[in-house]
Amino acid sequence: MWRVTILVLAAIYFLGPIASSIRFSLVQSNGKDGFGNYTQVLHDATLAHALATSLELAGLTTAILLVLMLPTVVWVRLRLPRVALLVETVSVLPIVIPPIVMGAGLASLQLHAGSQIDSLLFSSPLTALTPFYVILALPFAYRSLDVGVRAIDLRTLVDAARSLGAGWVTMITRVILPNVRTAVLTAASLAIALVLAEVVISELLLYDTFPVELANQGQENAGVAVALSVLSLVITWLLLFAITFVGNRGSRGRVGRLL
């Protein structure tokens, strides 16, 4: 009885606001129900460009984060276990520092930087925002990957791979990565969700990303803003589902080859 009660209350808590948002997004400017807010979103070129920019940022941030963090976590657990606690402490610092502080510092740097730095770093949202999104996603990715690495017999796998002549890159990609696939997918999911929701830094640096457009629409048209929020939720779900599907498909493929 308590389990059913808790599940029902959790369903109301999580699904109630989503259902209310969907219902509100169907109310058009003339007061009638319809999909006018959604068609307006889909035919807005500015929103389409902002969404494409955010998706590019999410993909680039996730790729850089995994390439940097997975070898780091493996190296710390394998060669430097005594500094693991120090690395964990340092990885939490981006959570302690508010994004508004980082955004204000970057805005000041953008204002006073020379033309060479401005053209190199701030000429595109990909070059300006990606490094700092990697920093913001660092705590979540490190924790996820660290849990995955600690759950496997890392030293045995590494010794077996090295005895067969595998190099560092081969060992990471073909031995360790398949065994921590769930942790990698979790880290990628958290990074994507963070990029698709971050608005402070991109707003201060005056870049047109999807969360910024969502905030702007909220000031102009509430119905379109809520419809945009529902679409962003659906897009995030689809991305996470696609990542999970690819991971599960790869795992089934490896099991089939072993059998």
pLDDT digits (tens, 9 = 90+) for 77-135: 888 888 888 888 888 888 888 888 888 888 888 777 777 777 777 878 888 889 889 98
pLDDT at 251: 53
Partner residues linked to 33 by β-bridges? 27
pLDDT at 226: 84
Show me where the domains of the chain are located.
36-258
Q: What's the CA gap between 210 and 212, in Å, rounded?
A: 5
- The answer to whether residue 168 scores a pLDDT higher than 80 is yes
pLDDT at 64: 93
Which homologous superfamily does the CATH classification assign to the domain defined by 36-258? Answer: MetI-like (1.10.3720.10)
pLDDT digits (tens, 9 = 90+) for 58-68: 999 999 999 99
Q: What's the CA gap between 76 and 82, in Å, rounded?
A: 8
pLDDT at 166: 83
Neighbours of 50 (CB within 10 A): 23
pLDDT at 256: 44
Q: Which two tokens stand for residue 93?
A: 């610092």
Considering only CA atoms, give the Rg of the chain. Answer: 22
Q: What's the CA gap between 27 and 103, in Å, rounded?
A: 36
pTM: 0.78
Report which of 156, 152, 144 is spatially closest to residue 70, judged by C-alpha positions.
Answer: 144
